[in-house]
Amino acid sequence: MTTGTIRLQRVLRATPERIYRAFLEPEAIAKWLPPYGFTCQVHHMDARVGGTYKMSFRNFGTGNGHSFGGEYVELVPFEKIRYSDRFDDPNLPGQMHATISLRQVSCGTELSIVQEGVPEVIPVEMCYLGWQESLVQLAKLVEPVIPD
């Protein structure tokens, strides 16, 4: 049974365009999405409505990993990303849904994330911890403005 829901909100010192790209470019998402202590491999990413993605996280310390993938349901450039998500491990059943909302504010972008349907066996507080770590890394990717 999938019951967990995660809700996060942050303001980042970056444009909605930069944050949107960070969610949809394979090299970018591999850099910021895995929580501390994990690496990420993006196997494929077709960032269009109806397109799919597949990636895996590996625990750097133990070498163990898990893979997951899904489908892009809605893409509103620089405003919204909705996608489905499913683990390949049968012990982590069900389909999750995530909605990423971006709103330009005076000092950057308000980022809102809702992830629904987290498998019951995954403690919600662990998801919050992982997302918090990922969002710190996202800020470090999108906030610096480095001239060419």
Residues 72-106 have pLDDT tens digits of 999 999 999 999 999 999 888 889 999 999 999 99
pLDDT for res 148 = 87
DSSP 133: H
Number of domains in the chain: 1
Low-confidence ranges of the chain (pLDDT < 50): none
Identify the domain containing residue 64 by its residue range: 2-142
Residues 6+ apart with CB under 8 A from 106: none
pLDDT for res 95 = 93
Question: Quick check: is 148 in a domain?
Answer: no
Rg of the chain on CA atoms, in Å: 15
Question: Quick check: is 96 in a domain?
Answer: yes
Domain CATH for 31: 3.30.530.20
